[in-house]
Amino acid sequence: MPKTKARISISLDGYMAGPKQSEASPLGEGGEALHEWAFKQAAFKEMHDLGDGGECGVSDEIVRASLANLGAVVMGRNMFGPVRGDWPDEDWKGWWGDDPPFHCPVYVLTHHPRDPFELDGGNSFHFVTEGIEKAVAEAKEAADDQDVTVGGGAATLQQAIAAGLLDEILVTQVPILLGGGERLFDGLAAGAAKVDLVDVVQDAELLHLTYRFG
Amino acid sequence: MPKTKARISISLDGYMAGPKQSEASPLGEGGEALHEWAFKQAAFKEMHDLGDGGECGVSDEIVRASLANLGAVVMGRNMFGPVRGDWPDEDWKGWWGDDPPFHCPVYVLTHHPRDPFELDGGNSFHFVTEGIEKAVAEAKEAADDQDVTVGGGAATLQQAIAAGLLDEILVTQVPILLGGGERLFDGLAAGAAKVDLVDVVQDAELLHLTYRFG
């Protein structure tokens, strides 16, 4: 059965991005420290064409598994880019250049309609104005028998969890204090989702936790 | 070397107590669900004279170890009782009856001076108006070669962490969403403490995580 899933890194205080996000600092102040571990993994380097020589341990296996079998991506508008409000033009094509690392259709949640477009490497971007249910439904159809990833940010993931659309999330906890920013598990009502802890992998200071939503 | 330590249960969204704490609901709405696992453990039942027949698995070992070698306790005033402001009289002696489960000196942080008193079983209560450093210093002296536990609540733990007074914390994560209340790791500035993950034990849905502060 194809799954709708997510993979995210959080700090000890629960933040998946630091405070004061901006175009110059899309992960917020201190937010890069959440992802340094991922940038080192061989699977991540391959995905982003960052060369050879990455780490090949248990964290690499986890990143590799999270990237396998992906048929479509859903993301919030802030993850697609820094442009807010109406699209002034069609110039902004995402943070990732001519050949984004997804190689599948990407569904961007926005209140502002925009025509879809294609980039190299099997990447296409589609703009969904009817909410998270519609975006996930379109992504699942496009993904066919493969998995859908909800990329973020926090608000998009919270909407997906609250709506019962997410089957599984892999949370990598990095033992740092960010002190502010966007929390992954925030604004969800008591009992908003039934959660099972299904896998725990420790790799030195990292903790990879897989939760399944029921 | 004796340690200053803490043991706390938190929800997936990071809360160590639910919203709307009151005398009738000292753990806040839904907060009991964080502690159900602990109430079942043999070590906890022994400590609170709740009879035999508790669970004796890995979680019991962890509770037992956390209770061993305790020489003194530090707690915030809200953990001691629901009385706020000036002490109207000396009637309130804590939530625990004539023979509290600590069997050692307890240092209560408060802005309102009060004379110390003793209860059965080696329990004594001392009121510290000069802040967390002073409370921990007095507790360490009283504990001699044994450990000091900082019991909570969240504000007291955060003060202890920010002031570099806590050596170690055992966090048991329960995979539920409380949706509000008091978060353990909150209001701590970015990098307020260096944290090392030193032990990870999974027991079914529970995750026992030991962090050391440097």
Structure tokens given for B170: 């055992």
Q: How far apart are CA A74 and CA A106, in angstroms?
A: 6
Q: How far is A38 from chain B (nearest CA, A)?
A: 18
What is residue B171's predicted lDDT score, i.e. its pLDDT?
A: 98
Mutation to test the A interface, candidates B169, B172, B177, most A Cβ within 10 Å = B177
DSSP A38-64: HHTBHHHHHHTT--S--B-SHHHHHHH
- Residue B88 falls within a domain, yes or no? no
CA angle A181, A183, A186 (to 5 degrees): 135
- Residue A201 falls within a domain, yes or no? yes
Contact A200 B205 (CB under 8 A): no
Mutation to test the A interface, candidates B58, B185, B194, most A Cβ within 10 Å = B185
Q: How far is B201 from chain A (nearest CA, A)?
A: 9
Q: How many domains does chain A have?
A: 1
B179 touches chain A (CB under 8 A): yes
- Residue A24 falls within a domain, yes or no? no
CATH number of the domain that residue A58 is part of: 3.40.430.10
CA angle A7, A11, A12 (to 5 degrees): 125
ipTM of the complex: 0.93
Q: Which amino acid is at A93?
A: K
Digitized pLDDT (tens) for each residue of chain A, 214 residues in all: 999 999 999 999 999 999 998 878 888 999 999 999 999 999 999 988 888 889 999 999 999 999 999 999 999 998 999 888 999 999 999 999 999 999 999 999 999 999 999 999 999 999 999 999 999 999 999 999 999 999 999 999 999 999 999 999 999 999 999 999 999 999 999 999 999 999 999 999 999 999 999 8
Tell me which residue in B14, B178, B188 faces A179 most closely, judged by beta carbons. Answer: B188
Dihedral angle sign, alpha carbons of residues B93, B96, B100, B101 = negative
- Residue B120 falls within a domain, yes or no? yes
Q: How far apart are CA B139 and CA B135, in angstroms?
A: 6
- Residue B51 falls within a domain, yes or no? yes
| Contact residues on chain B for A207, CB-CB shorter than 8 A | 197, 200, 209
All residue ranges of chain B with pLDDT < 70 are none
Element (H, E) at B124: strand B124-128
Contact A196 B205 (CB under 8 A): yes
Which range marks the domain in which residue A160 is found? 4-18+29-82+99-213
User: Cβ distance A84 to A63 under 8 Å?
Assistant: no
A65 touches chain B (CB under 8 A): no
- Residue A142 falls within a domain, yes or no? yes
Look-up: residue for tokens 């609901």? Answer: B25
Contact A177 B193 (CB under 8 A): yes
Contact B202 A197 (CB under 8 A): yes
B195 → chain A, closest CA residue: A175
- Residue B94 falls within a domain, yes or no? no
Contact A190 B12 (CB under 8 A): no
Q: How far is A182 from chain B (nearest CA, A)?
A: 12
A191 touches chain B (CB under 8 A): yes
Tell me which residue in B18, B177, B178 faces A193 most closely, judged by beta carbons. Answer: B177
Beta-carbon contacts of A31 under 8 Å, excluding residues fewer than 6 positions away, are: A15, A17, A18, A21, A25, A178, A181
Beta-carbon contacts of B180 under 8 Å, excluding residues fewer than 6 positions away, are: A190, B15, B18, B19, B29
A132-143 and A154-162 helices, crossing angle to 10°: 90
Structure tokens given for B62: 């962890």
- Residue B87 falls within a domain, yes or no? no
